[in-house]
Amino acid sequence: MLNMIKNSFTERLKELILESGKKQKDISADLHISKQRLTRWKTGYNEPCLDEIIMLALYFDVTSDFLLGLEDETGRKTKFDLQ
């Protein structure tokens, strides 16, 4: 299940970056992080900590649940089998 969430996060982040119409260097400058850090999150090489997830959610004006793939665009919760 955690791999599904990790994959959802990277896909959502890629989508949000693309939809923003901004370059990664501009987004990383806005967030006061390195471009490498943003790229590592986008590729799944590294995972953001809780504070960084909150920062991304606020920046892209989405919920942290959406960013993590726990809900869809309408706010409906995604069902995961926890077993």
What is the dihedral angle through the alpha carbons of 64, 69, 72, 73, rounded to the nearest 10 degrees?
Answer: 50
CATH number of the domain bearing residue 55: 1.10.260.40
10: in domain: yes
Do the domain assignments include residue 61? Answer: yes
pTM for the whole structure: 0.87
Q: Is position 56 within any domain?
A: yes
Distance of CA 51 to the CA centre of its chain: 12
Domain count for the chain, please give it: 1
Residue 73 lies in a domain: no
Q: What is the pLDDT of residue 75?
A: 76
20-58 per-position pLDDT tens digit: 999 999 999 999 999 999 999 999 999 999 999 999 999
Asked whether residue 26 is assigned to any structural domain, the reply reads yes
Domain ranges, residue 42: 2-67
